[in-house]
Chains A and B, each alone.
Chain A
Amino acid sequence: MADRRFSVRHLPGVSGIALITFVVLYTPVLILVIYAFNAGPVIGRWEGFSLRWFTAALENAAFRNAARNSLIVASVAGLVATLCATLAALATTRGRRFRGEGGIYLVLNQPLLVPEIVLAVALMILLAQIKQATGYHGLGWLIIAHSTFCIPFAYMPIRARLEGMDLTLETAAMDLYASRFYTFRRVTLPLMAPGVLAGFMLAFVISLDNVVVSTFVKSPGQETLPTYLMGELRRNLSSEIYAISALLLFASVAVVAASWLITRRKP
């Protein structure tokens, strides 16, 4: 150690613990992914590389139905949440502060401030009554529930993007005879687009991953991918579950990587 250059950034032991953390973080996930490609039916006994469990999953009608539901819910809820969050971000990042802005901020983040299980059972209590009254048991309830808790997630990157934007650009557009709508279409929207896209992707992933709210809000017989997985886990652990888990993992990585690339791109 004596010949080591002194650096204030170096603390003894830190790198060791950090590397252990990364190993511990990734080893279980890697094991899971590896066994998803196992040819044999028993987890833990490697019988060669195979895509059979992925094929089995994709041919499984229950899985396909759950996947379809998840994609519909995540897409629609993502879009609704992004739209609401975009409008709200436009309201809270432009111009002078006004009385009630703190209140808006609190309401927008409220779903994050309550434990998920509490929101889930509260929604179940309310929606149980409404479902009975209206007789509608479709995906709409999942969509509206997911839209609700996705709003604060979509709001974060959009707000960040808008706050980083130079407000005089909009002033300049108005000065150059642009109407409010023309300014929005030609200046604000193109400049905020990466933030909106990142917000949508975040909302999409959050919705796709949700277990707790879906479990309590879904109608009987309805499944999303995570609730289907949860139900299967209760029965037994199979290579097919690992394959499904691996698929979900790949989807998340792809979306995160994409949104990472988008938000890091300079305007």
Chain B
Amino acid sequence: MAETSTPETRVWRDELRRRWALASPAMIVITLFSILPLMVMVVYSFLAPGLYGNVIWEFSLRGWAGVFTERDLFDDTLGIAWAHVTILGRSVALALATTALTLVFGLPTAWFIATRHPSTRAFWLFLITIPFWTNLLVRTIAIQEVIRADGTINRILLSMGVIDAPFAMMFTNGAVLLGMSYVFLPLMVLPVYAAIEKFDFRLAEAAYDLHASRLYCLRRVILPLMKPGIVAGSILVFIPALGAYVTPRLMGGGRAMMWGNLIDLQFGQGRNWPLGAALSVVLTLVVAGALVWYVRATAAKGGRDG
């Protein structure tokens, strides 16, 4: 570099070098063990599946073709893989339903916490934070206990004589929806709470002062100002729900499988790594799409505010 070396440029150059050096350990670890694996996976999606798992190093689009199509076992014609379509459709539907359900319960809960007196607010917030950091597996076991064949609900109903035989709730779409809503609820409550906590309640008073009804005030003043929190909470629930693995596996079993379990299957019994890789890439792209929508939604809001 032929740049002149004044104290000013020298100090700034030293600082830049130091700051890049400080950031580099984290950058290197993440690049090597998160970004690089993802790139390798993209490569694998374009290879041919090995007979006993892994891949054969030759270019092939069979993995990508397998996402939505399958060859008939007998006459070798290409048809739509309805099993995949069902599973991917179910994943999107259940993730959306989970988002909606957590919103219905999470919004009032966040409002409730944010409007408590400051002295008790910390306690309620603590109550919602505990599940947030508790093992997801443990929480799934807990909700499973309630609805399984000889679980709490069935035991109570049987002992009360309401039913004669256990009510089958496990391994259904409903069970997966309930399980995911249960484990992801804190992810909705926390960002919405953060938005309400920042809300200036004098604005609502101003609305009432200007003869707004409760509903009108809620619709025109409170909800628009809570929108960033609602959008953040929805994205925080939707993304892990779409890629959920543990909860659908325990609550849905083989009958209510989701996207994450389908990916798992290709690396296990299915022995079709390229298909698994392709399914993973598609899932990542869908999630990236949701994130872009999120950035747009929040950026548009910022723009309107000036």
Contact = CB atoms under 8 A, between A and B. Distances in A.
Interface of A: 8-15, 17-22, 24-29, 31-32, 35, 43-44, 80, 83-85, 87-88, 90-92, 94-95, 98, 100, 104, 107-108, 110-111, 113-128, 144-145, 147-149, 151, 155, 202, 205, 208-209, 211-212, 216, 226, 229-230, 233, 237, 241-242, 245, 248-249, 252-253, 255-257, 260, 264
Label chain A's interface by main secondary structure: helix
B108 A21 contact: yes
A88 B23 contact: yes
Interface stretch (B32-40, B62-70, B296-304): B32-40
A10 B185 CA distance: 22
Nearest to B22: A91
Contacts of A241: 141
Given A11-B218, A123-B37, A249-B135, A83 B25 contact: yes
A113 B259 CA distance: 17
Interface size class of B (residues with CB under 8 A): 35 or more
Nearest to B15: A95
A125 to B, nearest CB: 6
10 contacts: A18-B108, A18-B109, A21-B109, A26-B127, A28-B146, A108-B26, A118-B263, A147-B29, A202-B133, A208-B135
Given A114-B38, A230-B246, A260-B126, A148 B29 contact: yes
B119 to A, nearest CB: 13
Contacts, number: 254
A121 B276 contact: yes
Contacts of A80: 29
A151 B155 contact: no
Interface string B109-123: 101110100000010
Contacts of B122: 264
A115 B15 contact: no
B131 A117 contact: no
A80 B211 CA distance: 58
B29 A115 contact: no
B49 to A, nearest CB: 13
A105 to B, nearest CB: 10
Contact of A249 (B16, B36, B127, B138): B138
Nearest to A119: B34
Given A122-B38, A126-B36, A31 B142 contact: yes
B19 to A, nearest CB: 4
Contact of B152 (A31, A91, A113, A205): A31
A43 B151 CA distance: 8
Given A11-B218, A13-B108, A245-B142, A117 B129 contact: no
B41 A125 contact: yes
Given A22-B127, A84-B29, A107-B35, 13 more contacts: A17-B105, A17-B112, A28-B139, A31-B145, A88-B23, A88-B25, A111-B30, A115-B283, A121-B280, A151-B26, A211-B137, A211-B246, A252-B135
B46 interface: no
B111 A14 contact: yes
Contacts of B239: 115
Given A22-B127, A29-B131, A226-B137, A90 B145 contact: no
B82 interface: no
A113 B33 contact: no
